[in-house]
Structure 1
Amino acid sequence: MPGTVRPVPTPLRIASNPIVDRREELARAIVAIQFERWPALYARYGEGGRERCVEDVGFHLLYLAEAVASDSPALFREYVAWVKILFAGIGIPDEELGESLEILRDVVAGRVEHITAARVRACVGEGLTALPGLPREVPPFVRSDAPLGALARSYLDALLAGDRRRAAVLVMEAAAAGARVPDLYLHVFQPALREIGRLWQTRVITVAHEHFATAATQAIMGQLYPAIFAAERRGLTMVATCVSGEQHEIGIRMVADFFEMAGWDSHYLGANTPADSVARLVRERGAHVLAVSATITAHVGRVAALIAAVRAEPGEPPHVLVGGYPFNLVPDLWRTVGADAFAPSAEEAVVIAERLTGPAVPDRAAGVA
């Protein structure tokens, strides 16, 4: 359907994934059954639509592969919840989604070994069981009764209007009037960007609007940097990064800024930095902490691979914190990928990191640029 002691990573997580490896073959087999079972699909979408269906099913398979690899049916259930809202916005009924998932389950389970097949049935089964009760819409993230709610609403309106200058003025005036930078991050930027994401998911806005809002917010965050970097340095260093392929980088940038506000020296790498480059920089900077973000379930395996690469570097490894949407869903997923802890928010990331590292070690930090 077109729509658009430290733990060690488990061997299953780092090894080749049988579903990912055969994704194209599996997707085409699934779509072939869909078009055979529902002849109206071809009439509705044609041959071009068939290829878009293959692409969409390929995404289903990526998310299923990660849920299976971590033996976490909850990950796939939450993906189904996201897809249900997405499909509702383009008029695809729940029944069609459910039947499509059943076909996916049967095709994949029939083409992988029995342990993987059992996990496939469990993951898809949990999604199918939950499907009827899952919401068809998400409540708005910007609310007038929330802290700085009126400012967040005005900021969001400015972004949706494409008025970056107005958005910046709103934030800088609030800062000049005494609003704390952490509060602007948590109560203005964060809910506004989540609302932008909700509006894209429900097809109210396009991905271009989403990209504009993200870029504008990053630029406005930069205007707050004089206040962010004013904290006294404490001889602690951290590296913050997304995994390779992750495009949602603003969350981990906020994490890095919270560390800066707590007196840490942060090295923010953003998105698409290769794992070996991250590992090398962590060693060169003598980082006490590595913070890794993944907002997409399909990228969880890359978190484990990155952590393994960092652990393989010579010398004392850093403490590794992970965060992002998949880790919010499954309480122990951080253990599966080999991290030292999970932080559900930027504020808590700093608290947890300082608990792991203990007091600053000036000698170690002395050679850090």
Structure 2
Amino acid sequence: MIDALQQPLEQAIRQRVIPALLSRHVDPQAEIIALVEGLLAGGNGRPQAEHAKGRGDSFDLIMLNLLAPAARALNTYWEEDRSSFATVTLAVWRLRSLMRDLAEEMPARPTAGPALRGILISALPGEQHDFGVAMVSEFFSRGGWAAQHARPGTVADLVLELRGNAPEVLGLSIARTDALPLLRSTIAAIRRAMRRQAPAIMIGGAALSVDPKIVARSGADGFSLCASTALGEAARLLEARGAAFPSMPPRKDRIVGLPNSRRGVSEPGPADQRATARGRF
């Protein structure tokens, strides 16, 4: 009797349990490489994303452990001339499409609490590739913030975005250490132009991991080294500034859609602008 029961049990273990356990054991680096090579070849990244979903990974884990490393790898392919600018740009576009699709398929749980807080997240003016910025913006949206993602060509464009949206926090991303002069001048120009209406300014990006001294030299109010800690840092900045929850209503000249004057906004000098010649994905 026992033998009769044991045989089907062993068969089930071989056919179902063991394959399921093996499917959960994945080499993260191999998965990232497969995603990158697939995107470069014109794929949509679905096989790797579905595999991650199948083993129970959350949206946040997929973003942090799969899509973000893939974006960094794509940037390396470009910097090392392993792929052309056009090929990498299309691959990043496919990666962003995958992120948007996953965000719709894996919606965040509704958050109860005070009215939405506002944050504008942007790469430095002039940088063309900002997948990391888009990802952080998605994290804030899912965390209950009114998050806006800006892609300004100039500091003046960024100031117009700030006046129009009136966020309590501005998140700036710096991808390279040689862009520190541009970061400093951008922060200074924003504060000169907006004065008391200037938001709290938080910085992040790959450059901070390379040179942590950038934080002290930037003039920013705070920093975050990764998307998973950015929400807590932004909330801390608001508390430190005594900001109210919900947001203070915008003045009439800061309502979205109304024209804003560029007067008082000084652009960075040529040396600063050259720092954006090679953007980072």
Q: TM-score, normalised by structure 2?
A: 0.68
Which secondary structure state, in structure 2, belongs to the residue aligned with residue 205 of structure 1? coil
1:273 CA displacement = 3.3
Separation in 2 of the partners of 1:156 and 1:168?
12
Number of the residue aligned with 1:215: 93
Identity of aligned residues (%): 24
Task: Identify which of 199, 205, 224 aligns with 1:318.
Answer: 199
Q: 1:196 to 1:314 in 2, by over 3 A?
A: closer
1:330 CA displacement = 2.3
Separation in 1 of the partners of 2:208 and 2:49?
30
Which secondary structure state, in structure 2, belongs to the residue aligned with residue 240 of structure 1? strand
Of the structure 1 ranges 223-232 and 277-286, higher mean CA displacement relative to structure 2 is found in 223-232
1:150 CA displacement = 5.4
1:279–1:310 Cα contact (<8 Å) kept: yes
1:229 CA displacement = 6.2
1:293–1:322 Cα contact (<8 Å) kept: yes
Separation in 1 of the partners of 2:118 and 2:175?
24
Separation in 1 of the partners of 2:94 and 2:59?
17
Written as runs of structure 1 = structure 2, the 5 A alignment for 1:1-369 is: 145-146=27-28, 149=29, 151-164=31-44, 167-168=45-46, 170-172=48-50, 174-175=52-53, 178-226=56-104, 227=106, 231-232=110-111, 234-270=115-151, 272-312=152-192, 313-358=194-239, 361-362=245-246, 364=248
Which secondary structure state, in structure 1, belongs to the residue aligned with residue 196 of structure 2? coil
Separation in 2 of the partners of 1:232 and 1:366?
24
1:85-118 deviation line (CA, Å, top 9, x unaligned): xxxxxxxxxxxxxxxxxxxxxxxxxxxxxxxxxx
Separation in 1 of the partners of 2:229 and 2:134?
15
1:173 CA displacement = 6.2
> Which residue identity does 2:248 align to in structure 1?
R
Separation in 1 of the partners of 2:86 and 2:250?
44
1:311 CA displacement = 1.2
RMSD over aligned CA atoms reads 2.8
1:138-183 deviation line (CA, Å, top 9, x unaligned): xxxxxx544xx5543432232132222xx13542564476421111
Separation in 2 of the partners of 1:281 and 1:209?
30
> Which residue identity does 2:94 align to in structure 1?
A
2:59–2:103 Cα contact (<8 Å) kept: no
Q: 1:297 to 1:247 in 2, by over 3 A?
A: farther
Separation in 1 of the partners of 2:208 and 2:109?
31
Q: 1:266 to 1:363 in 2, by over 3 A?
A: closer
Separation in 2 of the partners of 1:277 and 1:267?
14
> Which residue identity does 1:232 align to in structure 2?
T
Which secondary structure state, in structure 2, belongs to the residue aligned with residue 291 of structure 1? strand
In the alignment of these two chains, the number of paired residues is: 221
Q: Which has the higher contact order (CA 8 A, sep 6+)?
A: 2
1:256 CA displacement = 1.0
Q: 1:366 to 1:171 in 2, by over 3 A?
A: farther
1:1-26 deviation line (CA, Å, top 9, x unaligned): xxxxxxxxxxxxxxxxxxxxxxxxxx
> Which residue identity does 1:304 align to in structure 2?
R
Number of the residue aligned with 1:14: none
Of the structure 1 ranges 359-368 and 289-298, higher mean CA displacement relative to structure 2 is found in 359-368
Q: Please list every run of 5 or more consecutive structure 2 residues that lacks an aligned counterpart in the other structure.
A: 1-25, 257-281
2:122–2:173 Cα contact (<8 Å) kept: yes
Higher share in helix: 1
Q: 1:317 to 1:203 in 2, by over 3 A?
A: closer
1:333 CA displacement = 1.4
Separation in 2 of the partners of 1:246 and 1:160?
21
1:343–1:352 Cα contact (<8 Å) kept: yes
